[in-house]
Structure 1
């Protein structure tokens, strides 16, 4: 019975299999079903979340001139279901730009940064957090192509 259920539903774990057996009218308790489940080697491997390697925090230095270092981050407005992408120059705390959209993937961010660089020039360093938009290949390759250091 257990083999038939797991053959049909490959990704089901023990609780779903046990509930299906109970619905089919079998009166086996969970300990017996779990013992058989383990003997048949049906345990599913638990996939763990990928961990970002730890970075040693350093005291952030104040840049010496304008356009040397930019800081970027996201904010969200839950009432309007929108996200904002903010870019700030660290030298004088000037907001260089704010992009507003429902979805802000890395491709859109790099296009927006290219638009900002047309007016302000490319920075030497960018300060960001560990968000998925900033740790992905698209953003990292964009930064490498423009010789920009990323400070996490």
Structure 2
């Protein structure tokens, strides 16, 4: 399984929208390229239409961690 725990950017905010997430991902992609897969929790910024459309446009698979399965993100 491919994974990374690198911090590619930090954005401080009280709340963040899916559109903001896509802008951040695009800025990272300028120097790292687009990932093949992104694993996230079920937060609204990760389950919104904007991120889903962005992922489709860039051939990125979104993998959402099942609710109540917090340990799933720790399994390698």
TM-score category by the smaller chain?
Answer: 0.7 to 0.9
1:94 corresponding residue in structure 2? 6
Counterpart check, 1:127 vs 2:33: no
Cα shift readout 1:77-123 (whole Å, capped 9, x = no counterpart): xxxxxxxxxxxxx24x2211111122311111100110000011100
Alignment partner of 1:103 is 2:48: no
In 2, Cα distance between equivalents of 1:96 and 1:126: 13
Give the unaligned 5+ runs of structure 2: 65-76
Within the candidate set 48, 54, 59, 1:142 is matched to 54
Task: Select the structure that is richer in strand.
Answer: 1
Counting matched residue pairs gives 64
Gaps of 5+ in 1: 1-61, 64-89
Bigger relative contact order, structure 1 or 2 (CA pairs below 8 A, ≥6 apart): 2
Larger radius of gyration: 1
- The equivalences for 1:1-150 within 5 A come to 62-63=1-2, 90-91=3-4, 93-150=5-62
Deviation at 1:134, TM superposition (A): 1.0
Query: Structure 2-normalised TM-score?
Result: 0.77
